Structure 1
């Protein structure tokens, strides 16, 4: 079932990737758990979803600070990405978002705006057979200030040569929705995994 869109005419669609285009948040969490376990770090599932949209390097740095650890950020992030790539063949597209991509492709330009690395986003979209549909990709490393800052969405709008107010954002996280609002863009909230997959985990199922 297609997600309802806000009223208005839009000249570009901007999509987050993980949890929005790709139903990949559960396997991202698996990858985080395995990578962090090697360093004795904890990352509760509730916090993982609360921090959705942040760059992996900022997450690792904050976990270090919170837990008094000294995990090498680059090493842990590389290990997390390696595990994610191994799990990636199991990922599927989010149906309600995929229908909008198929319906609007060729009518308005698309961009992916993600806190994940370009390598990770490219791999996800390639697995889903959607990579060629996106004219612009703005990923971790392409901007200084991560979501909820609007910088990443404003960069995408500029690259597409579309005014921010004429862009429609598809997002699944609080940080992403705040980022879109700060950029002056309308947005569609994509239901989180525990609403689309009620049996994903007992902890997730209590989030409401």
Structure 2
């Protein structure tokens, strides 16, 4: 299936995990294993609910939900270490990669992710797309993460494109909400890769 670019789009913004690279199953297993050490059953439903929230705030959210007092850094770092050890297994999401390659050099493009910048760069490198993005707005670059629009607004600002002329590609509910709040066009990529990845 081919994803269409809106004729009014003057800049393209991509979420990374679950949008450009199919890293979500790897993130899920890492979270599930990290949470199990603290007696938390990290279900698929819980994962979907928390998708798009950065690393340490996810642990804070788990503490709220389960009444636990887990150290966010300790659990977060354990989860991220397991994820990093397995991230080479992630496959590119081809319909999205096709757009990136087609519009590279024609329209400004940026990545807006809730992940850490170091891992975002590594993730792009592993699927051979690190040369396609000069602009990456990650967890460390914002004060407010998705569903707050700051991540995408910073992408637009760095691309020099008005928010209304940006098309955002997302797989997460919180990310789509952030893009809409920013006044941007939103494309839900999940319907384009159900066929290929069985998600």
Q: What is the aligned-residue RMSD (CA, Å)?
A: 1.6
8 Å Cα contact 2:36/2:42 also seen in 1: no
What is the aligned partner in structure 2 of residue 119 from structure 1? 118
Describe the SS at the equivalent of 2:87: helix
What is the aligned partner in structure 2 of residue 2 from structure 1? 2
Runs of 5+ consecutive residues of structure 2 not aligned to the other structure: none
Structure 2 CA distance, aligned partners of 1:2 and 1:101? 12
Structure 2 CA distance, aligned partners of 1:30 and 1:45? 10
Give the TM-score normalised by structure 1: 0.90
Question: Cα distance, 1:48 vs. partner?
Answer: 0.6
What pairs with 1:1-208 in structure 2 (closer than 5 Å)? 1-6=1-6, 8-191=7-190, 195-196=194-195, 197-198=197-198
Describe the SS at the equivalent of 1:141: helix
Q: How many residues align?
A: 198
Describe the SS at the equivalent of 2:140: coil
Q: Say which is worse superposed, 66-75 or 187-196, in terms of deviation.
A: 187-196
Change (3 A) 1:90 1:192: farther
Question: Cα distance, 1:131 vs. partner?
Answer: 1.0
8 Å Cα contact 1:112/1:136 also seen in 2: yes
Question: Cα distance, 1:72 vs. partner?
Answer: 0.9
Change (3 A) 1:160 1:95: same
| 4+ aligned runs moved over 6 Å, structure 1 | none
Give the TM-score normalised by structure 2: 0.93
8 Å Cα contact 1:25/1:193 also seen in 2: no
Structure 2 CA distance, aligned partners of 1:150 and 1:95? 26
